[in-house]
Amino acid sequence: MTAFVSARLLRSLLPALSLAALLAAIFYLEPRAMSYFGLNLLLNLAVPIALATIAQMFVITVNDLDLSIGAYVGFTACVAATWLKDSPVLGIAVLLGCIALYAAVGALIYLRDLPSIVVTLGMSFVWQGLAVLLLPTPGGHAPGWLLAIMGLRTPFLPFAIFASIGLGFIVHLGLMRSAYGVVLRGAGGNARSVARAGWSMLKIKMTMFALAGLFGALSGLALVGLTTSADANIALRYTLLSIAGVILGGGEFVGGRVSPMGAVIGAATLTLAASFLSFLRLNPDWQIGAQGAILILVLALRLLVTRWERQR
């Protein structure tokens, strides 16, 4: 029994241990990174990546996959840098419409029993095309209030750390501790039982996709608040980063098994991985492959721990 508990504890702590190991390696290679300014540089993009990862997590919770989140974040970033600054009412209306469209995509996937990968892949071209039409060349300007929020200077630790922890905690309370959160996760674990209990699977799908749209839009806003401008291609890589972040954080593609805090930790790990590879002076052309190798290594360790847990 003790061994079983130890295996489960190790499995749950693996994302945090991976992050700690990566931080230790970075501090060893560059001791000056162990400072407020250094941590701020290392984790500068952690918030938008964490928000995109949480968005992907909501979709994965109901056994779907969103291949459009990167293009969607890019489009919302373009909206934030143009309409939201020049015509706030129009900008807010467009962002709310985007969230509603995300919910409609969830309804379409459920009602027509379509593969989410195919539908969201198609939507990625839609979002990308809209972003290019709205902002053909990089530009625009972030609203002043957005710059103020993302530029907050908090005591002791950078704002990105507090924001990421707060994000994980809030989503954890909503998805893991609330009664409706249990229903939402149950839809990914056993949809038939949830439906038999009287819950509408259509509403659940729409809710989870709407939440993905909300957090994806927040990711676009956060990204513009950091970069001060936008580009139609600014967040295309967020699609793969968000999937990797959920899996690194202990989530699984099926069964409704996810971890909000783990997803945030996974996003931070991927953010730090790029800095770690830069400190190694690795050729940029090889960095994406090296990030994939880090992901495979962590997943291999998790598989070993899972097998040990089952043997006990």
Q: How many domains does the chain have?
A: 1
- Place 163 in a pLDDT band, splitting at 50, 70 and 90: very high
Neighbours of 13 (CB within 10 A): 14
- 283 contacts 297 by C-beta, under 8 angstroms: no
Contacts of 71 (CB under 8 A, 6+ apart): 123, 124, 125, 126, 127, 128, 131, 235, 236, 239
- Place 100 in a pLDDT band, splitting at 50, 70 and 90: very high
| Tens digits of residue pLDDT in 107-135 | 999 999 999 999 999 999 999 999 999 99
- Place 43 in a pLDDT band, splitting at 50, 70 and 90: confident
3-state helix, strand, coil in the chain (%, to 5): 80, 0, 20
Residue 135: give the domain boundaries: 2-311
| Residue-level length of the chain | 312
| Tens digits of residue pLDDT in 254-297 | 777 888 999 999 899 888 887 777 777 766 666 667 667 777 77
* pLDDT for position 306: 67
CA–CA dist 201, 209 (Å, integer): 12
CA–CA dist 192, 282 (Å, integer): 49
Of residues 263, 268, 264, the one with CA closest to residue 247: 263
* pLDDT for position 164: 92
Q: Tokens 């918030």 appear where?
A: 47
Query: DSSP 3-state assignment of 246?
Result: helix
| Residue type present at position 249 | G
